[in-house]
Amino acid sequence: MADIRIVEVGPRDGLQNEPVIVPLATKVDLVDRLARTGLKTVEAGAFVSPKWVPQMAGSAELLTEISPVSGVSYPVLVPNEKGLDAAMAAGAREIAVFGAASESFSQRNINCTIAESLDRFRPVAARALAAGIKVRGYVSCVLGCPYEGAVDAGKVAEMAAALVEIGCYEISLGDTIGVGTPAKAAAMLRRVALDVPVAKLALHFHDTYGQAVANILACLDQGVTVMDSAVAGLGGCPYAKGASGNVATEELLYLFDGLGLSTGADLDEVARIGGWISQQLGRANGSKAGRARLAVVG
């Protein structure tokens, strides 16, 4: 087993924030290519309202058209039972519910309070688990909120523990707007780990201020081994103005290789996919490591 598990979120967190609507065939290609690089988790889409996030429309078709690779998980975001029904009908085997540590962000993102979000997630998780579907949980705004500013790590811990309580096997801690810095990231993780074992925690850091790799490094010695990232640094959040992409998968693969920690994924192949999808989107490749590898291996 690899030392570090990378959760590739480019097809979801990346594409949900692109101004262009990506054709289904390109999304299918993206997911299939990523799943053949050795990455074990490729978050494929979201069963949310297409009025709220038009880029994620077609996630049902996507799930039915991909060519699943054995041993790879393809989680999809699900905000409520309507989303769960659609995800189950499309054959999802893993879902992720997504809440926040900030009330204002919860309202803007999913149109309900934090307490209401837990009331929505509870039956979603219960029904999914009864059907043998794995349930992951996200907590957004763990290091800052676009509407409220600083966020108390105690609130992050409370939400993370509540998501474990309803049945999430893993909680991904989202620095949604990428405002964290290393000492704050490490302190937040230490606080959350008082209430949720670190083995159940993942880091989901956006790179708005270029701190994501530093933040991850600052958290590593606490034993966290699961990291979310997006090929070519795609991503953002439609309800977090100014948030830039997730830390690039290529940066993490290069970093962990340098640290002697295995990920099981092929950096050069991920870099090629990053170059290709950036071209498809007509945007610059957001990964420095990806651009550097492409200059060497093409």
What one-character DSSP code corresponds to residue 263? -
Q: Does 13 bind Mg ion (CB under 5 A)?
A: yes
Query: CA-CA distance, 179 to 147, in Å (whole number)?
Result: 13
Contact 167, 135 (CB under 8 A): yes
Element (H, E) at 163: helix 153-165
Q: How many CB atoms lie within 10 A of CB 120?
A: 18
Contact 172, 202 (CB under 8 A): yes
Residue with Cβ nearer ligand HMG (73 or 275): 73
Query: CA-CA distance, 163 to 158, in Å (whole number)?
Result: 9
* Encoded tokens for 4: 């570090």
Q: Residue 102 binds what, of Mg ion, ligand HMG, none (CB under 5 to 8 Å, by partner type)?
A: none
Does the annotation mark 112 as catalytic?
Answer: no
Residue with Cβ nearer Mg ion (80 or 244): 244
Q: Residue 83 binds what, of Mg ion, ligand HMG, none (CB under 5 to 8 Å, by partner type)?
A: ligand HMG
Cα–Cα distances in angstroms (integers) from residue 265 to residues 94, 232, 281, in the given order:
21, 15, 24
* Encoded tokens for 213: 């790799």
What is the separation of C-alpha 238 from the centre of its chain, rounded to a whole number of angstroms? 14
Residue 247 C-beta: closest distance to Mg ion, Å: 10
Single out the catalytic residue among 145, 168, 219, 237: 237
Residue with Cβ nearer Mg ion (237 or 294): 237
Nearest residue to ligand HMG on Cβ basis: 174
List residues near ligand HMG by CB under 6 A.
13, 16, 46-49, 52-53, 77, 79-80, 82-83, 98, 109-111, 138, 140, 174, 176, 204, 237-239
Residue with Cβ nearer ligand HMG (47 or 256): 47
Q: Does 250 bind Mg ion (CB under 5 A)?
A: no
Q: Does 94 bind Mg ion (CB under 5 A)?
A: no
Residues 202-231 that bind Mg ion (CB under 5 A): none
Q: Residue 105 binds what, of ligand HMG, Mg ion, none (CB under 5 to 8 Å, by partner type)?
A: none
Catalytic residues: 237
